[in-house]
């Protein structure tokens, strides 16, 4: 094989590159939760439990599928996306709302954070827990693959210890 072909060859995927990107996780959580919430509004008139369940499942799934270098995004994005989705859902879910525009939106958003607190807590806790576990297991794997020196120091006839230089591992 020529050197030009070796230089132009794309890098082989490593374990760190396998998975969904951080942006992909954001899109996954946002789109699936928004579609589930909009379907619940169209079917039942309110956001309902479907919105919360979709959020929890996608937050956990995103943390499990994300690339290792983007784990932080998968842990930080869920609560921020929940806030954005609640504001967007307030424009779709207008049943039984009275008062001025700002009053309706403030009441809806406050109600969504009060009644949806278990969903945001659970989804975020799952994402952080899965991300923490994946980071911990990646660190343990990296630490176990670090070569260690097997050379032992030598003792001279006078009793002094002379350190030996580490031998390169093959």
Sole residue written with tokens 């270098």: 69
DSSP 3-state of 46: coil
**Is position 153 within any domain?**
no
Percentage of the chain lying above the pLDDT 70 cut: 76
Average pLDDT, integer, range 89-112: 83
**Is position 169 within any domain?**
no
pTM for the full model?
A: 0.71
Q: What is the pLDDT of residue 119?
A: 93
**Is position 55 within any domain?**
yes
State the residue range of the domain holding 72. Answer: 14-146
**Is position 140 within any domain?**
yes
Domain total of the chain: 1
């Amino acid at each position: 094989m020529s050197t030009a072909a070796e230089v132009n060859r794309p890098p082989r995927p490593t374990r760190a590159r396998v998975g969904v990107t951080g942006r992909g996780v954001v899109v996954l959580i946002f789109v699936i939760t928004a579609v589930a919430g909009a379907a619940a509004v169209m079917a039942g008139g309110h956001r309902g439990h479907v919105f919360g369940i979709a959020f929890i499942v996608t937050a956990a799934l995103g943390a499990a599928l994300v690339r290792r270098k983007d784990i932080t995004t998968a842990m930080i994005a869920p609560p921020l996306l929940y806030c954005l989705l609640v504001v967007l859902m307030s424009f779709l879910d207008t049943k039984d709302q009275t008062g001025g525009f700002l009053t309706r939106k403030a009441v809806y958003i406050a109600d969504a954070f009060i009644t949806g607190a278990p969903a945001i807590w659970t989804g975020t806790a799952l994402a952080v827990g899965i991300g923490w576990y994946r980071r911990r297991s990646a660190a343990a794997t990296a630490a176990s693959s670090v070569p260690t020196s097997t050379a032992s120091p030598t003792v001279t006839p006078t009793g002094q210890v002379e350190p030996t230089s580490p031998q390169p591992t093959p």
